[in-house]
Amino acid sequence: MELAKYKACICEGSAEEAIIDILVDNDLLIFKREEMLEERVIRCRSAKRFEERYLRKGFDEQISVIRILDSRREEFRLSKAYEQKIDVVNVITAPEIEMLIIHAEGAYDQFKRSGKNQANFVKQIFGCMM
């Protein structure tokens, strides 16, 4: 699949956002930060809010929305006005993304003792870092 000239990279959580930032900054993705809307990862899960905030700026060209999330059930329905101008690519991760962060920071034993799920642990312990 070929991506459009403009990309909106939408991440569900801070762990996903941090990983995408690292990948983009190290040229490990098929697009560059300069191609991203506002040159940053977007944290907007609602299609309606995304339309209001980003699409009403009068883009003449196609936009690829790359959604990085851990749920297959989460919907992203664009209004009919934008359906033909936007292609949506869903990249489904699993909770293992948070486990990569936990291991990378050497915090696995702390995580096991915490009794929290991966996402909550990462958010609580590393929130300021992400």
Shared-domain flag, residues 60 and 14: yes
Q: What is the extent of the structural domain holding 129?
A: 95-130
Shared-domain flag, residues 11 and 43: yes
Shared-domain flag, residues 75 and 121: no
**Residue 109's pLDDT is what?**
92
- Give the rounded distance of the alpha carbon of 119 from its chain centre: 14
Quick check: is 1 in a domain? no
**Neighbour tally for 91: CB within 10 Å:** 14
The CA distances from residue 19 to 28, 86, 108, 130, in Å, are 11, 24, 18, 9
Give the type of residue at 94.
A
Structural domain total, the chain: 2
Alpha helices for 1-130 (secondary structure H): 14-25, 47-54, 80-83, 96-104, 108-114, 118-126
CA separation for the pair 21, 109 (Å, rounded): 26
Q: What is the mean pLDDT of residues 101-128?
A: 82
- Give the rounded distance of the alpha carbon of 99 from its chain centre: 17
**Residue 1's pLDDT is what?**
66
Q: What is the mean pLDDT of residues 21-38?
A: 94
**Residue 130's pLDDT is what?**
43
Does 14 have pLDDT greater than 90? no
Shared-domain flag, residues 76 and 123: no
**Residue 25's pLDDT is what?**
95
Shared-domain flag, residues 77 and 106: no
Q: What pLDDT, in 10s, does the model give residues 54-112?
A: 887 666 788 999 999 877 788 889 889 888 889 999 988 876 777 888 888 888 899 89
Shared-domain flag, residues 105 and 71: no
Does 129 have pLDDT greater than 70? no
Shared-domain flag, residues 15 and 57: yes
**Residue 119's pLDDT is what?**
76
- Banded model confidence at residue 128, pLDDT cuts 50, 70, 90: very low
